[in-house]
Amino acid sequence: MDARLDRINAAFDALDTNSNGYLEADDFDRLGHRIVEALGVAESSPKAQALHASCRGYWEGLVETLDENRDGRLSPEEYARFHEPSEFEDGVRPYADALTAICDRDDDGFVQREDFVRGMSAVGFPADNVEALFKAFDPQGTGEVATTEWRIAIEEYFLSRGGHPVGDTLV
Ligand SMILES: [Ca+2]
Ligand SMILES: [Ca+2]
Ligand SMILES: [Ca+2]
């Protein structure tokens, strides 16, 4: 199995929040709720609403592009079939934006270690990998990471592009 396929499978597993082997609309609703709950943010807050909308948009972009047999859900094979992710990049970006925004509580452009770990764990990454990733982003040990850097890394990860610390650290 090549590294790219490993990344695609890892991204699938992270998005399949009820681990039933298919991506469905419910998985993305659950994902949003899990992140909001982990951060302790009110569901009614603008950031939580933006996150939920982005999760829905992300799902809609995926299913529209990749659901070959039109059964309303994505199998691992359907999900892995994409090779030119540009068609649904539009869905990944708002999701990455909303995720990093909700973790940057004071909107100063940086996310504290604790919130980074909460957010990434809620997204579905193992705690050890999340710690390693934080260190990769924060080699000086400042205790925070820039939201822009993290946002780009999230995009790259879910677009399953190689050569980025996220892909290399999380898989
Ligand atoms: Ca599922
Ligand atoms: Ca399908
Ligand atoms: Ca902040």
DSSP-derived secondary structure for 42-92: -TTSHHHHHHHHHHHHHHHHHHHHH-TT-SSSB-HHHHHT-S-GGGGHHHH
Q: How far is the CA of 22 from the centre of ligand 1 (A)?
A: 4
Q: Indicate which ligand has the atom closest to the C-alpha of 100.
A: 3
Output the six-digit token pair for 62: 């995926």
Q: Which has more confidence, 165 or 140?
A: 140
Q: How far is the CA of 108 from the centre of ligand 3 (A)?
A: 5
Q: Which amino acid appears at position 40 of this protein? A: G
**Containing domain of residue 10, as a range?**
3-170
User: Which pLDDT value is given to residue 116?
Assistant: 96
CA 105, CA 97: separation in Å to the nearest integer? 13
- Exposed e or buried b for every residue in 100-132, given b needs 16+ CB within 10 A? bbbbbeeeeebbebebbbbbbbbbbbeeebbee
Output the six-digit token pair for 131: 């710690």
Q: How far is the CA of 92 from the centre of ligand 3 (A)?
A: 22
- For the cut 80, the answer to whether the pLDDT of residue 148 exceeds it is yes
* pTM score of the predicted model: 0.82
Q: What is the domain count for the chain?
A: 1
The DSSP code for 142 is -
Q: Which amino acid appears at position 21 of this protein? A: G
- Would you place residue 27 in the very low, low, confident or very high pLDDT band (cuts 50, 70, 90)? very high
Task: Give CA separation, 43 vs 102, 108, 120, 149, in Å.
Answer: 11, 22, 18, 26
- For the cut 90, the answer to whether the pLDDT of residue 144 exceeds it is yes
Burial class (CB in 10 A: 0-12, 13-18, 19+), 168: middle
With beta carbons less than 8 A apart as the criterion, state whether 24 and 56 touch: no
CATH code of the domain covering residue 60? 1.10.238.10
CA 105, CA 16: separation in Å to the nearest integer? 27
- For the cut 80, the answer to whether the pLDDT of residue 90 exceeds it is no
Q: How far is the CA of 28 from the centre of ligand 1 (A)?
A: 9
Q: How far is the CA of 76 from the centre of ligand 3 (A)?
A: 36
